[in-house]
Amino acid sequence: MSKLVSDGHDIIFNSSCAGCSRKHFSVATCTAFPSGIPLVILSGEHDHRKPYPGDNGIQFEPIADTKKSAD
């Protein structure tokens, strides 16, 4: 698994977090995990479309597509 480090405090793994509307910009936190997203979710080991202990009932929500298609 590869990882990238951005400005020393955000570690980005190959997970769905980047596509989640609940992810906080440029830090490894989100609405479900304001103190830090667990490694098993960041790594993709746990699919956060399913509940995870400590997520307060908040799971992955895709970023809304703001593109409007012309009919």
Q: What is the maximal distance between C-alpha atoms in the chain? A: 45
Q: What's the pLDDT at 3?
A: 45
Which residues are CB-contacts of 21 (< 8 A; sequence separation ≥ 6)? 61, 62, 63, 64
- How much is the pTM? 0.70
Contact 30, 60 (CB under 8 A): no
Give the confidence band of 69 by pLDDT, cuts at 50, 70, 90.
Answer: low
What tokens were used for 41? 């979710």
Q: What is the pLDDT of residues 12-66, one digit of tens each?
A: 556 788 899 999 988 889 999 999 999 899 888 899 999 999 999 999 999 987 6
